[in-house]
Chain A
C-alpha cells in the first residue's frame, strides 16, 4: 500500500509544476457556472420553475456538478495507456513490481486530491460572488450516500478508462474512439444539462447505465432531489464496478500474454 501512496504523492507533486493548468482549471469551473447563470437566467425569465428546478436550485446543481466533473480526470489514463502501448514505452509499467491498474488508480488519486482543494475554493468564491442561494441537502444519510456514490463513480471511471486504454493492445488506434467517448460522456453524466430535461424514456434507460451515478445523481442528491434513488444507486454503481473489474481482469490476462513490446 505504501508504494501506491508514494505514487499518488508523486503525481500530486507533478500537478504543482503546471501553474498555468491550475489557473485554467479554476477559470474552467468558474466559466461553467458563469455560463449556466447566463443561460438559465435567460430561460427562467418570467417563470418560476423549469423541469422542477428553481433558478437557484438549477445553479446549485451546476456548481456541484461542475465541481464533480472537474474531479473526474480519468480520461488521461486511457490516453496515456494508449500512447505508451503504441510507441512501445508501455514496458515501463511492466518492469516495475506494481499492479498496473493500481498504479493508475493511485495516479488518479494524487491528481484528484490536488484539484479537490482548488476547485472547492473556486466554487465557494463564486457562490458568494454571485449571491446564489445555495441549495444543499441537510440530511446526513443522503450526504453520506452521495459521498459513497461519488467515490464509487470516480473509481468506475478509472476502471473504464483503464479498460479502454488496454484495448489498444487489440485495436492499435483508439484515439478516435476515446474522443467519441468524451463527447457522449459529457451528455450522459449530466454535465451539460441536468438529465431530467431529457425525455423520461431516455432517463429510464440511463438509470441502468453507470454514468448516471458518477456526477449526475450525486449532484441531484446534494441539491435535495431524487432521495429515493440514493440506496439503489449505490447498489447499481457497486455492481458496475465489480463487473468492470471482472472484465478488466479477463482482458488484461488475455492481452498481456500477446504483448510483444514493440518499439523498445
Chain B
C-alpha cells in the first residue's frame, strides 16, 4: 500500500512536469469540458423552461441534480479520465506490454498516470451550482448530511470509474471500442438531462441496472432531499459492488486474453 502510494506520487509529479511542457495541454481540457458544461446547462435550461416539476422534483432538486452530475464528471476528468481513456490505444499499439512487465498493478498505473489539473475549475463550478441548488431546494446542511452526501458522491465515483474501465477493457476482446465509447458519452450527456426518478420499465432496466448512469447523481440528491429509502441505498451499494467485481473480472480476463498484436 505504502509502496503504491509512492509510485502514485511519482506518477503525479511526472504528469505535472509533462504538462508544463505544453502550455495548451494544461488548460485545453478545461475548455473542452467547459464547452460541454455550457452546452448542458443551455439545453437543461431550454428544456426545463417548459416544465416546473419533473418526476416529483422541483427546480431546486433539478439544479442539485445537474450540479452533482457535473461534479462527478469533473472529478472523473481531473483524476482518471485521461489515464483510463488511453487504455484502448495502449492495447491496440501493444504499448500495454510495458505495463504488464512491471511489478505495479497496470490498472493502477494507467488510471493515475494522466491526472489533469486543468479541469479543477470545473469542480469548483459544479460546487457552486450545488450550493445554489441546495439554496433553492431549502437544504439545511449539517455535518451528518454533508458526510452522507459525500459518501454517496464517492461511491458513485467508484461506479463511474468501473463503467469507464469496463467499457475500455473490452478492447482486449474486440478490435474497436470507439463506438462503445460514443455510447457511453451519449449515456452520460443524456443522463445529465433527466433525473433517475422518471425512469420506468425498460428505461429503469437500462439506466439503473445495465448502464447505471441514471442512479449516479440521483442517489446523492435523493439523500439530500431526504428521500433516500433503505432499499434504494442498499441497491446503490450493491450495484457498485457488483460492477466493481465485474470490472475486475473483465480486466483480469482481458489481460490473460491479451495477444499483444504488434511486435
Chain A residues near B (Cβ < 8 Å): 17-18, 20-21, 24-25, 27-28, 31-32, 34-35, 38-39, 42-43, 50-51, 173, 176-177, 179-180, 183-184, 186-187, 192-193, 197-198
Chain B residues near A (Cβ < 8 Å): 22, 24-25, 28-29, 31-32, 35-36, 39, 42-43, 46-47, 49-51, 54-55, 174-180, 182-183, 186-187, 189-190, 193-194, 198-199, 203
Residues in B neighbouring A184, C-beta threshold 8 A: 35, 39
Are A173's CB and B25's CB within 8 A? yes
B182: contacting residue among A28, A51, A180, A192, CB under 8 A: A28
B42: contacting residue among A43, A50, A198, CB under 8 A: A198
Are A27's CB and B47's CB within 8 A? no
Are B179's CB and A39's CB within 8 A? no
A112 CA to B193 CA, complexed, in Å: 29
Are B47's CB and A197's CB within 8 A? yes
A107 CA to B50 CA, complexed, in Å: 43
| Interface of A: prevailing SS | helix
A177 CA to B177 CA, complexed, in Å: 22
Are B35's CB and A39's CB within 8 A? no
Are B178's CB and A21's CB within 8 A? yes
Closest to B194 in A: A39
| Interface of B: prevailing SS | helix
Closest to A177 in B: B28
Are A176's CB and B29's CB within 8 A? yes
Closest to B187 in A: A31
A197 CA to B186 CA, complexed, in Å: 20
Residues in A neighbouring B186, C-beta threshold 8 A: 28, 31-32
Residues in A neighbouring B194, C-beta threshold 8 A: 35, 38-39, 42
Are A180's CB and B198's CB within 8 A? no
Question: A-B pairs with the 6 shortest C-beta distances?
Answer: A176-B28, A24-B179, A197-B46, A183-B35, A179-B32, A183-B36
CB distance from B242 to the nearest CB of A (A): 22
A119 CA to B54 CA, complexed, in Å: 32
Residues in B neighbouring A31, C-beta threshold 8 A: 183, 186-187, 190
Are A173's CB and B22's CB within 8 A? yes
Residues in B neighbouring A18, C-beta threshold 8 A: 175-176
Are B35's CB and A193's CB within 8 A? no
Are B24's CB and A24's CB within 8 A? no
Are A38's CB and B35's CB within 8 A? no
